[in-house]
Amino acid sequence: MADDRRDFRSNRWLRRVLGACFGGVCLVATFLGVLVLALLLWSVVAAAMPSAPMGATGPSLSVRVRDLFHLLGELISRINASDADAAGYRVGLVSSLWLLALVAVTGIPVGIAAGVYLEEYAPTGRIRHLVQTNIANLAGVPSIVYGILGLALFVRGYGIKALALGPVLISGVLTLSLLILPIIVITTQESLRAVPQSLRQAALALGATRWQVVRDHVLPSAFPGILTGTILGLSRAIGETAPLLMVGAAGSLDRPPRTPLDRYSALPIEIYNYAHEPGAEFRVVVAGGILILVALLLTMNSVAIVIRHRYRRSA
Amino acid sequence: MLSSALEVSSRRSAVAERWAGHSRYLAYWEAAVTLGLVLCTVVTVLTTLGIVAVLGVETVAFFSQAKIGIGEFLFGTALKPDATSPRFGVLPLMWGTFLIAAGSSAIALPIGLFSAIYLSEYAPRRLRSVLKPTLELLAGIPTIVYGYLALVLITPILKQIFEPFGLRVERFNALSACIVVGVMIIPLVSSLSEDVLSAVPRGLREAAYGLGATRFEVSTRVVLPAGLSGVCASFILAVSRAVGETMAVVMAAGMVPKITLNPLTSIETMTTYMVQVISGDASYGEPKYLSLFAVGLTLFAVTLCLNLISNLVLRRFREVYH
């Protein structure tokens, strides 16, 4: 009896220590992610800042921050060049904004419409299940495969000359639209699912047609969720490099596109291109470009995340 | 009297007419909208068909152009697309891809799982509401940024660690790519796993606590087994993501197709090969250019299998609680 009790007690001690260690490991693992994010931002900022010697002799922090913003301003206004002192990202930025705007008007409506159909209209059954599985799989297809699809379908027109668009802006737009389609469909469906059924029933009972119910009641109350998905999808499109490489976005272009049928570039493409340049002076240019891209995407994503969390709390 | 009655009835019928007209208009509108929505849904199906068709047709063209068999393609150990008698063995690329996937999983799966357990079992509510969005932000950083970091941050650190031991670290090496891809897929693992673990019913936890279990025991023996299918599914999805990852690997791991166990040297993955071919000067119709599609099809098949298995695991082995 006494032996049993001693065993139990020693065991309890071990269990507590083990538990505490495990909790510690989990804590460290979680903060590792946050730490990496901080390290990442810091190292990019440090690389973009004009190099200061260690110690007190360097310029003060406020001067360096001002220099950094000055550098970013220069990078935004200059166009592509093979000389690091004259190199900038204007063409890439303008192209990326074109891509953003055009993907927003081509890819987003189609994605939302497909989500609405699957959630509000489609009869449950085999076909809906198949389409649903297909979309889940599309979301997992590597982005470079979409690039190949765009290359064969839009740039080369499946071998038919009349259909071939060539490596122009609209090819990139269509490719990116297909790429973000599954994200938009899935988030739209999720936010439609969160709309209470009673809302639909009430509207239907008052004689509204199905489309009236969706347009006037379901879509407005699912709007924040759909908006979140839209922003996340667009930021994904802005950050993608590989599919645009496939469909022929140009790394060094000396003027931004003016129409959807012009040749185009993109911010990440130009960064990739500069990263290939030999010479240490391009480091600052690359780091500055990364900083612009990251700032753009973090802003978009945090807006999306804030909307989502506020919406969830009120729901 | 009669005329006013007639007037009323005619007005009534006019109103009825207008209503009927409106509902007919509504019916047309309804049909048109439904058709539009169906067409948009069809686009998603066409995308998959398009991918399969494009890759399939061009791969067949590749095999007839390059005059090699499927066996030689899949199991050939030499990849020399530029040689006078080009060889297209995809095995070195498969090995490179496997190396990256395995290395990054070794980093991301444990860390992702631990942080999922922390977020769902340990973290106070306030902290959790800050940490979760932060991890989501990490997931939104584009892959080219990770590639850049591998090049300017990770590789120099690796050099400082390994070179004192006489190990040569190449400028492009597999290990730095593994590390950044691993960091990249941590949020995927932790956020998906956390969703699953949080969904395990409270009653199970409370029953275990009531029996005197510590938090560690509840986490590892009650919650984790209950959510195991979801955790496994998230693991497989993360591996699939690492397999399809392009830019970080292109920038960090280099473009030397070889079968090696040394992670400090340069390798080449399937995605990297595709970027290499498209950036090169091969023109359409050449075997080298067409090999792009054959490698693409292989990549697509691998990720598709992983995604389907992940789906299957999630559905087959899910514990259902009511």
Lowest-confidence region among A4-8, A126-130, A140-144, B53-57: A4-8
Whether residues B125 and B10 fall in one domain? no
Whether residue B188 lies inside any domain: the answer is yes
CB A288, CB A72: distance < 8 Å = yes
Answer whether residue B110 shows pLDDT above 60: yes
DSSP state at residue B317: S
Q: What is the per-residue pLDDT for A118?
A: 93
Q: What is the per-residue pLDDT for B117?
A: 93
Whether residues B17 and B136 fall in one domain? no
Higher pLDDT, A186 or B254: A186
Answer whether residue B137 shows pLDDT above 60: yes
**A-B C-beta contacts closer than 8 Å:** 259
Whether residue B321 lies inside any domain: the answer is no
Correct CATH for A74-314 of 3.30.420.280, 3.50.30.40, 1.10.3720.10, 3.30.1490.20: 1.10.3720.10
Whether residues B245 and B186 fall in one domain? yes
Q: What is the per-residue pLDDT for B7?
A: 64
Give the mean model confidence (pLDDT) for residues A283-291: 86
Residue B186 to residue B138: CA distance in whole angstroms: 9
Q: What is the CATH number of the domain that holds B134?
A: 1.10.3720.10
A145 → closest Cβ in B110, B247, B300: B300
Lowest-confidence region among A191-195, B39-43, B117-121, B310-314: B310-314
Query: How sure is the predictor about A51, in pLDDT bands with cuts at 50, 70 and 90?
Result: low
Q: Cβ–Cβ of A290/B219 closer than 8 Å? A: no
Q: What is the pLDDT of residues A101-118, one digit of tens each?
A: 999 999 999 999 999 999
Residues in chain A with CB shorter than 8 Å from the CB of B118 are 23, 26-27, 29-30
Whether residues B81 and B38 fall in one domain? no
Whether residues B201 and B300 fall in one domain? yes
Q: Cβ–Cβ of B54/A211 closer than 8 Å? A: no
Q: Cβ–Cβ of B54/A152 closer than 8 Å? A: yes
Q: Cβ–Cβ of A138/B47 closer than 8 Å? A: yes
- What does the block give as tokens for B110? 């444990």
Answer whether residue A255 shows pLDDT above 90: no
Higher pLDDT, B149 or A159: B149
Whether residues B305 and B231 fall in one domain? yes
Give how far B3 is from chain A: nearest CA, Å: 34
Higher pLDDT, B1 or A257: A257
Answer whether residue A293 shows pLDDT above 60: yes
Q: Cβ–Cβ of A26/B118 closer than 8 Å? A: yes
Residues in chain A with CB shorter than 8 Å from the CB of B187 are 33
Q: Cβ–Cβ of B241/A148 closer than 8 Å? A: no
Closest CA to B245 of A184, A267, A145: A145
Q: Cβ–Cβ of A141/B186 closer than 8 Å? A: no
Q: Cβ–Cβ of B50/A232 closer than 8 Å? A: no
Q: In angstroms, what CA-CA distances link B23 with A203, A205, B13, B34?
A: 16, 16, 15, 16
Whether residues B96 and B6 fall in one domain? no
Q: In angstroms, what CA-CA distances link A22 with A11, B54, B56, B195, B196?
A: 16, 50, 49, 20, 20
Q: What is the per-residue pLDDT for B265?
A: 85
Q: Please indicate if any CB of chain B lies within 8 Å of the CB of A239.
A: yes
B216 → closest Cβ in A18, A272, A298: A18
Higher pLDDT, B124 or A7: B124
DSSP state at residue B258: -
Cβ-based neighbours of A265, under 8 Å, separated by 6 or more:
A80, A91, A92, A95, A249, A250, A251, A252, A253, A256
Give the mean model confidence (pLDDT) for residues B200-206: 91
Give the mean model confidence (pLDDT) for residues A282-302: 88
The 3-class SS string of B259-282 reads CCCCCCCCCCCHHHHHHHHHHCCC
Residues in chain A with CB shorter than 8 Å from the CB of B137 are 37, 298, 301-302, 305
Q: What is the per-residue pLDDT for A53?
A: 46
Give how far B79 is from chain A: nearest CA, Å: 20
Whether residues B96 and B214 fall in one domain? yes
Q: What is the per-residue pLDDT for A183?
A: 92
Query: How sure is the predictor about B67, in pLDDT bands with cuts at 50, 70 and 90?
Result: confident
Answer whether residue A222 shows pLDDT above 80: yes
Lowest-confidence region among A46-50, A139-143, B37-41, B108-112: A46-50
Query: How sure is the predictor about B287, in pLDDT bands with cuts at 50, 70 and 90?
Result: confident
Secondary structure class of B79 (helix, strand, coil): strand
* Residue of B192, B247, B297 to mutate, interface with A, max A Cβ within 10 Å: B247
Q: What is the per-residue pLDDT for B301?
A: 94
Q: Please indicate if any CB of chain B lies within 8 Å of the CB of A135.
A: yes
By residue range, what is the domain housing residue B61? 2-67
Answer whether residue A311 shows pLDDT above 80: no
CB A248, CB A155: distance < 8 Å = yes
Q: Cβ–Cβ of B43/A110 closer than 8 Å? A: yes
Q: Kindly give the residue spans of alpha helices, DSSP state H, lying in B118-246.
A: 125-139, 143-149, 155-162, 174-198, 202-210, 215-217, 224-226, 228-244
Q: What is the pLDDT of residues B220-232, one digit of tens each?
A: 999 999 888 889 9
Q: Cβ–Cβ of B214/A209 closer than 8 Å? A: no
Query: How sure is the predictor about A48, in pLDDT bands with cuts at 50, 70 and 90?
Result: confident
Give how far B211 is from chain A: nearest CA, Å: 13
Q: What is the per-residue pLDDT for B36?
A: 93
- What does the block give as tokens for B136? 């989501």
Domain limits, chain A: 2-48, 74-314
Give how far B229 is from chain A: nearest CA, Å: 17
Q: Please indicate if any CB of chain B lies within 8 Å of the CB of A89.
A: no
- What does the block give as tokens for B145? 């940024």
Lowest-confidence region among A67-76, A111-120, A177-186, A206-215: A67-76
Answer whether residue A1 shows pLDDT above 50: no
Q: What is the pLDDT of residues B174-194, one digit of tens each?
A: 999 999 999 999 999 998 899
Residue A187 to residue A230: CA distance in whole angstroms: 8
Q: Please indicate if any CB of chain B lies within 8 Å of the CB of A176.
A: no
Answer whether residue A242 shows pLDDT above 50: yes
Residue B123 to residue B126: CA distance in whole angstroms: 8
Q: What is the per-residue pLDDT for B295?
A: 92
Whether residues B42 and B165 fall in one domain? no
Burial (0-12, 13-18, 19+ Cβ within 10 Å), A127? exposed
Give how far B86 is from chain A: nearest CA, Å: 22
What is the average pLDDT score of chain A? 84
Percent of chain B with pLDDT over 90: 36
Whether residues B176 and B51 fall in one domain? no
Residue B110 to residue B101: CA distance in whole angstroms: 14
Whether residue B322 lies inside any domain: the answer is no
Residue A135 to residue B262: CA distance in whole angstroms: 38
Percent of chain B with pLDDT over 70: 92
Answer whether residue A308 shows pLDDT above 90: no
Q: How many CA atoms lie within 13 A of B6 on its CB side?
A: 3
B217 → closest Cβ in A15, A26, A135: A15
Higher pLDDT, A78 or B1: A78
Give how far B268 is from chain A: nearest CA, Å: 15
- In degrees and rounded to multiples of 5, residue B79 shows phi and psi of -120, 100
Secondary structure class of B46 (helix, strand, coil): helix
- What does the block give as tokens for A156? 């080369």
Domain total of chain B: 2
Instruction: For residue B251, count other CB atoms closer than 10 A to its CB.
Output: 28
Percent of chain A with pLDDT over 70: 91
Whether residues B35 and B15 fall in one domain? yes
Give the H or E element holding residue B153: none
ipTM of the shown complex = 0.86
Answer whether residue B255 shows pLDDT above 90: no
Whether residue B269 lies inside any domain: the answer is yes
Q: Please indicate if any CB of chain A lies within 8 Å of the CB of B54.
A: yes
Q: Please indicate if any CB of chain B lies within 8 Å of the CB of A186.
A: no
At which of B38, B67, B96 does a domain end?
B67
Give the mean model confidence (pLDDT) for residues A211-232: 90
Whether residues B142 and B108 fall in one domain? yes
Instruction: For residue B227, count other CB atoms closer than 10 A to its CB.
Output: 24
